Amino acid sequence: MVRLRQRLARSQNSLGQGLLNLLSSDSLTEDTWEEIEDTLITADIGVTSATQIVENLRTRVKVLGTRGPDEVRGLLREELLDQIGADTDRTVRTEPHGDRPAVIMVVGVNGTGKTTTSGKLARVLIGDGRSVVLGAADTFRAAATEQLQTWGGRVGAPVVSKEEGADPASVAFDTVERGAQEGADTVIIDTAGRLHTKTGLMDELGKVKRVVEKKSQVDEVLLVLDATTGQNGLRQARVFAEVVNITGIALTKLDGTAKGGIIVQVQRELGVPVKLVGLGEGPDDLAPFDPEVFVDALLT
Ligand code: GDP
């Protein structure tokens, strides 16, 4: 968790000095409140959440007669945590069912970090003493399969793959079967993310899910979102949420220029918790999402 804090502090997520200065101003005037709201919107928190946060904050400051910058900052922290859902269950479900492995489907648009996140997640689980099988169900690009194989080698997980153009559902089926044969705890299936048509995507992911359910059950559908893509990423997320029942979000590339507030918006829009955050390209750059650490980094 220390690492998450350090990484976020190094990235450009922070709401920065601007907000702290605003909160420190002698009198919280109408203009100051507006500027606070603008700062929150600039951080990608979204207009609805920003408005609500400022409204609640204003009421509480008034009712409590709170003026000191530290107190206002504390209240803002509480409001942000409230929006993010400090008590939300963010566990990634990885427990096997008897002799059948838990199944995690990783979905999202190409380039968001699906393969990388699949590899990094396998690394985390293996580090926890679990056994993992990876499935290369993005059969449309040979490079995607090769990339997953590289990750498998790197983290010590077998990779089930087929030739380019093979049926993604059959790769998923074989992955679950291999997982069961090897007594694996969890299988992670990396899927294709071509947003060519909504029906195409729906058919493909639906088929993968149905086929997996012949052998086990789908425990998690993790939607991978690139935090640097802002509104565009949100639009893509909506399409995925319409075609498949997403159970959690992995928000990648938070180490870069992303505005961290996107987490608030993503959850609000999709009603699905952010469970994992990607903080770099390396095997150890995946962390569970911790709202308190995140909000503290945002307010630093
Ligand atoms: P996919 O097409 O969705 O499978 O995406 P990839 O896993 O191939 O990732 C696309 C690019 O994003 C690669 O260059 C990854 O190294 C990079 N990437 C993935 N996750 C992260 C992250 O959390 N931070 C950074 N900086 N880069 C990432």
DSSP for 35-102, please give it: HHHHHHHHTT--HHHHHHHHHHHHHHHHHHT---HHHHHHHHHHHHHHHHTTT---------BTTB-E
Q: Whose CA is nearest to atom 14 of ligand 1?
A: 281
pTM of the model: 0.91
CA torsion angle for 178, 182, 183, 187 (degrees, to 10)? Answer: -40
Q: How far is the CA of 140 from the centre of ligand 1 (A)?
A: 18
What is the CA 4 to chain-centroid distance, rounded? 14
User: Closest ligand 1 atom, CA of 224?
Assistant: 3
pLDDT for 153 equals 98
pLDDT of residue 111: 92
State the average pLDDT for the chain.
Answer: 89
Give residue 107's pLDDT.
95
Q: What's the pLDDT score for residue 142? A: 86
Ligand 1 lining (C-beta closer than 6 Å): 108, 110-116, 147, 193, 252-253, 255-256, 278-281, 285
Q: Which ipTM was obtained for this model? A: 0.99
Determine if residue 108 is labeled as part of a ligand binding site: yes
Cβ neighbour number for residue 284 with a 10 Å cutoff: 12
- Residue 298 CA to ligand 1 centre (angstroms): 23
Cα-to-centroid distance, 116 and ligand 1 (Å): 6
**pLDDT value at position 294?**
86
Please tell me the predicted confidence (pLDDT) of residue 256.
Answer: 74
> Cα 223 from chain centroid?
7
What local confidence, expressed as pLDDT, does residue 230 receive? 82
Q: Collect the ranges in the chain with pLDDT lower than 50.
A: 2
Q: What is residue 113's predicted lDDT score, i.e. its pLDDT?
A: 96
Return the pLDDT at 94.
95
**137 belongs to an annotated ligand binding site:** no
For residue 46, the model assigns a pLDDT of 87
> What is the 202 CA–ligand 1 centroid distance (Å)?
23
CB atoms within 10 A of CB 288: 15
Q: Please provide residue 286's backbone torsions phi and psi, each rounded to the nearest 5 degrees.
A: -130, 135
Dist CA 112 CA 282 (whole Å): 15
- What distance in angstroms lies between residue 113's CA and the mean position of ligand 1's atoms? 4
Reading the block at residue 274, the tokens are 């952010």
Q: Is 113 part of any known ligand binding site?
A: yes
Q: Give buried/exposed letters for 241-275 (b at 16+ CB in 10 A, else e).
A: bebbebbbbbbbbbbeebbbbbbbbbbbbbebbbb
Which of 4, 116, 120, 151, when mutated, tests ligand 1's pocket best, judged by the most ligand atoms within 8 Å of its CB? 116
Rounded to whole angstroms, the Cα distance separating 104 from 124 reads 14
With a CB cutoff of 8 Å and minimum separation 6, the contacts of 136 are 144, 145, 148, 149, 159, 160, 161, 162, 171, 190
Q: Is 111 annotated as a binding residue?
A: yes
> Does 271 belong to an annotated binding site?
no
Q: Which pLDDT belongs to residue 202?
A: 78
